[in-house]
Chains A and B, each alone.
Chain A
């Protein structure tokens, strides 16, 4: 069952055609890897899906609704969450407060409710905090709840950010290079975490990643972009052997399994 569909999307910046007639479909509960050389249009594709950029042509559908041109916060409210290449943990808040911010759309307190400290508002805050702790527990970071956001290492922040997107029970999460800067052991942990998110929570994951070992290992399907065009799509083992991919991305003379990490 397709829950997110990108339908013939194009977008240009100045003279550069960043996405050229891209179509792709993402099903419920699958992990899809997006790979491609630098400048292929991968992040632009995520930006277009989550509403940060509006495509020049084409449509994006989430479920049965067209979301093209909607504001990012609306799209977030419809069950689509994402992480970014650079750490986006709010450094002025504790980890727990960061997680609670992820529940913004699931909470109701108004300005007056907050100012008057109503019983309802306090009950809601307690519930948010409990859910935040549960979500931290899922990724093994419960012990860090009260630390400031900027006290974590780069790799730890990425994991907490993934937890922050999961807390609002999204249908689909876009991950922009979750493994960047992680050590090999950490990549293995991330691999396990991504599988658990898919299997235990049934969340669809769309992941841009340069760490080929991770993408090929964990993805159910892989989409390959090059110069704004989709050049291949298929199961990881098919992608490995696709001559167009090898030529465009992995290079002609290089052993495909070890290259480009």
Chain B
């Protein structure tokens, strides 16, 4: 009985983030870097999961928004001489503003059409990063200035690690709370049936914009932190493969699950590091993981947690339909609800 109460999302997350907090005490330079990447990808995955997993918007712009956060932060430092501490929030907010604009096509388009239009936006962003050389320094990228921790006596890479840890914890806590509020319910209602959501008074534009804004802010914040972690920014870090990584993380972890985002991100960062020597195989392995999960376990790893751990609650998880809900990724998501559309022949 008591044991069951201990098996919960909360204790899992507390344990994981406790471990990540004390990691720097034991880790070498490389392990610290991997831990830091893990935190970054947890931010990215939970942000994307808000949009795709909870709100059901099949968007493919997350990597580009991540890039806008990173470029915004680094360029403000390089061109205008801002400090990281001023540039990072502005970079994240810039990413959020641009990302929120994507909600407008999302009001008209859904499924595969939204996917394609956001993909086009991502490719256009790449083009700008490559060709607007006077501002972005083109394909070769550029160095971001090191972060200044001022009077705090800490080595920069440790400093960045702890900042990332704190931002991740705060953002994850916010995700958790928002998804369990009336706003999260509105997202899930939109995902499970737009017409019904509207007829209960949920304004689609407002909530789509909110979902895009939240997820873009997360991606932008991750980008800002990434530019500080690497000290170097270039377009290829935010390309289509990066998008596949984010997508694979939320599918492997579980769409519409906070723990799923954390699980998927941590696991795939580990896989990514195992394959660091063989960069070309990364793409194959990630593609295979994404396809494999979509076909065989579209509801992600949290399904096993739900099955094996009694007392594990996953209330808003995108699962349980007779129809495998991977269709949210293959674009036929809307097909399942086409019957609800007001049509003349359904008179």
- Residue positions of A touching B, CB distance < 8 A: 13-14, 16, 18, 38-45, 47, 50, 52-53, 71-73, 76-77, 81-82, 84-86, 88, 90-94, 97, 100-105, 107, 109, 111, 113-117, 121, 125, 128, 148, 150, 164, 168, 228
Contact with A along B175-197 (1 / 0, CB 8 A): 00110011111101101110111
Q: Are A91 and B200 in contact (CB under 8 A)?
A: no
Most central of B181, B199, B340, B347 by chain A CB within 10 Å: B347
Interface residues in B288-330 by Cβ distance below 8 A to A read 315-321
Q: Does B210 contact A (CB under 8 A)?
A: yes
For residue A115, which residues in chain B have a CB less than 8 angstroms away from its CB? 174, 177-178
Q: Report how many A-B pairs have Cβ atoms within 8 Å.
A: 141
Task: Tell me which of A14, A76, A114 contacts B201 (CB under 8 A).
Answer: A76
Q: Are B340 and A84 in contact (CB under 8 A)?
A: yes
Interface residues in B215-272 by Cβ distance below 8 A to A read 256
Q: Does B80 contact A (CB under 8 A)?
A: no
Q: Are A72 and B339 in contact (CB under 8 A)?
A: no
Task: Tell me which of A18, A81, A100 contacts B185 (CB under 8 A).
Answer: A100
| Distance, CA A40 to CA B188, complexed state (A) | 34
| Distance, CA A164 to CA B199, complexed state (A) | 11
The size bracket of the interface on B is 35 or more
Q: Are A168 and B344 in contact (CB under 8 A)?
A: no
Q: A39-B347, A72-B199, A76-B198 are in contact. List 7 more A-B contacts (CB 8 A).
A: A73-B198, A73-B202, A77-B201, A84-B196, A100-B182, A101-B202, A115-B178
For residue A52, which residues in chain B have a CB less than 8 angstroms away from its CB? 195, 198-199, 342
Nearest to A150 among chain B residues (CB) is B320
SS class, residues of chain A in contact with chain B: mixed
Q: Are B340 and A93 in contact (CB under 8 A)?
A: no
| Distance, CA A195 to CA B225, complexed state (A) | 61
Interface residues in B144-164 by Cβ distance below 8 A to A read none
Closest-CB distance, B345 to chain A (whole angstroms): 7
Task: Tell me which of B174, B321, B342 contacts A91 (CB under 8 A).
Answer: B321
Q: Does B346 contact A (CB under 8 A)?
A: yes
Q: Does B273 contact A (CB under 8 A)?
A: no
Q: Are A82 and B199 in contact (CB under 8 A)?
A: yes
Nearest to A82 among chain B residues (CB) is B199
Q: Are B200 and A102 in contact (CB under 8 A)?
A: yes
| Distance, CA A85 to CA B339, complexed state (A) | 9
For residue A40, which residues in chain B have a CB less than 8 angstroms away from its CB? 347
For residue A105, which residues in chain B have a CB less than 8 angstroms away from its CB? 200-201
Q: Are B320 and A92 in contact (CB under 8 A)?
A: yes
